[in-house]
Amino acid sequence: MRRFLQRIPNALTAFRMVIIPVFVATFFFDNKAASQFAALLFVIACITDFFDGYLARLWRVQSSLGRFLDPIADKLLVAAALIMLLYQGKADVIPALLIISREILVSGLREYLAELKVPLPVSTLGKWKTGIQMGALLLLILGERATGLELTEWLGRIALWISAGITVYSGYAYLKAGLKHIDF
């Protein structure tokens, strides 16, 4: 039974990775239905992101595979969304670059510190960053076309800038904590 339970969170993570190409493909269709479908896929991905970790902890079935794949799936989803939003002209370049750069930096730092057996746990600020970032991306994915509200993209851009600011700050905090363990 434990082995079966362990597979559910990992399957949710794998599912999130599998829907990313479909999510990206929706951006090439310039209509309301495509925007709504992209938003639906993004919401499903965000929900699986929550539940894969939640269920693994609840059932005490965390696995090395899950710890490895979950952050990769998260980074792929965010990077794909940002790149496609840039492609459509719905996102600003600076916050997108800051977010993607921070994700690469923190992932590399975590990998390096893992070799040293030094954990770098997710901070509360990191969780806020993720929530604001996902909300911003959802608003930008939906856009005016899907909601009928001009305000949607404007709010999404502001939220993306806010999440980029939090991203830089939390990235600095992770870097500062990690540098203590790096031998120069």
Query: How would residue 27 be classed by pLDDT, with cut points 50, 70 and 90?
Result: very high
Q: Tokens 């479908």 correspond to what residue? A: 37
- DSSP strands (E only) in the chain: none
HEC string of 22-67 equals: HHHHHCCCCCHHHHHHHHHHHHHHHHHHHHHHHHHHHCCCCCHHHH
Query: How would residue 24 be classed by pLDDT, with cut points 50, 70 and 90?
Result: very high
CATH architecture of the domain formed by 2-179: Up-down Bundle (1.20)
Query: How would residue 131 be classed by pLDDT, with cut points 50, 70 and 90?
Result: very high
pLDDT digits (tens, 9 = 90+) for 148-176: 998 999 999 999 999 999 999 999 998 99
pLDDT-wise least confident of 23-27, 31-35, 44-48, 177-181: 177-181
What tokens does 46 get?
Answer: 């965000």
pTM score of the predicted model: 0.92
Long-range contacts of 171-177 (CB under 8 A, 24+ apart): 171/102, 171/105, 171/106, 173/123, 173/125, 174/106, 174/109, 174/120, 174/123, 174/126, 175/105, 175/106, 175/109, 177/120
Burial of residue 93, with CB atoms counted within 10 A of its CB: 0-12 exposed, 13-18 middle, 19 or more buried: exposed
On the question of pLDDT at 118 being above 90, the answer is: no
Q: What is the pLDDT averaged over residues 51-67? A: 90
Domain ranges of the chain: 2-179
Q: How far apart are CA 111 and CA 181, in angstroms?
A: 13
